[in-house]
Structure 1
């Protein structure tokens, strides 16, 4: 009996494998506050449309895709504080966009892709159409293409006999306040494209679209050169950051 009792006692106190304690599951991480804000902003856009959102919120929506893991409201407000309007943000050059806190090279380039897409859409609204009856769309296109350029550009819209846009070309790019324009080259290109009319467009990087004396004189020279070959000049539009001027509307031509 003694021996059996000793064996039982040894068995009782023998080492029993100890199971490792189950690791406590970490508490679920709390979602960043900006995620709920993003959802609410998307819902407002979906239900009420873009007109219900101020510029900074519309820019936030755009930055959601470009900056997926951060609060984009500070960056959106900083961009607008620096450049003024949403249009001016998209029109700003890449190097200046990158000077804004939170905007790196990839985001700056993506914003320019958005700007190029908007410009292409505006061009589609006027290409092949009778532009004199689509004047608002024409001005919107010219503004998106030129208003925020740092240097002067001289653009020509070439029209067929029905005043439909057949080509749109930047003929010259100059300095911040001057672009050399040669009337013979303008008329020559119109003949090459079989255009019967043209609209001249250039921008003033200063922002003020008021025609200068040189602008008026150059326009009159092109009008005279075109008359000899049956090419009409319908207008000369000057684009500024805050608006535009039509020489025909101002009775300057």
Structure 2
């Protein structure tokens, strides 16, 4: 197998056979640490572990033949929190020492699985009665995006989720939104209500004047066709803002 066929995870790396008459190699020091950390997680659960140790547990599977503590700490030093690590762009993850293309991709797969799990909670229950799950899902999906996204949750007459779509992706501080297109898509999906969501990459979820004006335009356009706008949520790294909660709609 050529070097091009392997990756930094070492899953496919061949292990040399011990030479006759030679003592077996010493067990790597990090294996005992892995055993102890798995035991702590098994006994006490994730709440007993700080972010870097939970990230280490993930990296055990992704990088099986190396000490993952330095990698976990380097990722958190670069991005801040476990959520921000999983939300980071794949190219930025690869800039961290010890994280190659394969591990960066695997981390994004884990992030996608977490988002899918949160989204599945919304499809099995009435959305407005599970508002915490709505916020958790939107935060996981959008809080750490480098560019603004405008997302719409389309609901039926029982406020169950019909579809979740990113309608527009813009720049670091602006996303073009067209009220006519929002209402048109709601009609196509036979939605009777919608929840608008967009992120602020700056981290501050405070709605801008443009956000408020755009929201009012959508509310008016939707109202004429019998479609309710339940809320417009702005997601940031520092939290979220609800325009309904702020009495802006």
Normalising by structure 2, we get a TM-score of 0.91
Aligned to 2:92: 96
Q: From the superposition, tell whether residues 128 and 158 of structure 1 become closer, same or farther in structure 2 (CA, over 3 Å).
A: farther
Q: CA RMSD in A?
A: 1.1
Q: CA deviation at 1:129?
A: 2.1
Alignment of 1:1-253 (within 5 A): 25-253=21-249
Q: CA deviation at 1:242?
A: 1.8
Distance (Å, rounded) in 2 between the aligned partners of 1:25 and 1:47: 41
Distance (Å, rounded) in 1 between the aligned partners of 2:175 and 2:35: 48
Greater Rg over alpha carbons, structure: 1
For 1:60, what is the secondary structure of its paired residue?
Answer: helix
Distance (Å, rounded) in 2 between the aligned partners of 1:157 and 1:24: 65
Q: Which moved more, 1:83-92 or 1:159-168?
A: 159-168
For 1:244, what is the secondary structure of its paired residue?
Answer: strand
For each residue in 1:54-80, what CA deviation from the matched residue of structure 2 results, as whole angstroms up to 9, or x when unmatched? 000000000001111110000000000
State the aligned residue count.
Answer: 231
Q: CA deviation at 1:128?
A: 4.2
For each residue in 1:40-95, what CA deviation from the matched residue of structure 2 results, as whole angstroms up to 9, or x when unmatched? 10111111111111000000000001111110000000000000000000000111
Normalising by structure 1, we get a TM-score of 0.89
Distance (Å, rounded) in 2 between the aligned partners of 1:222 and 1:197: 12
Runs of 4+ aligned structure 1 residues displaced above 4 Å come to none
- 8 Å CA contact 1:128–1:166 kept in 2: the answer is no
Structure 2: stretches of 5+ with no match in the other structure: 1-18
Q: Which moved more, 1:152-161 or 1:126-135?
A: 126-135
Distance (Å, rounded) in 2 between the aligned partners of 1:95 and 1:188: 35
Structure 1: stretches of 5+ with no match in the other structure: 1-22
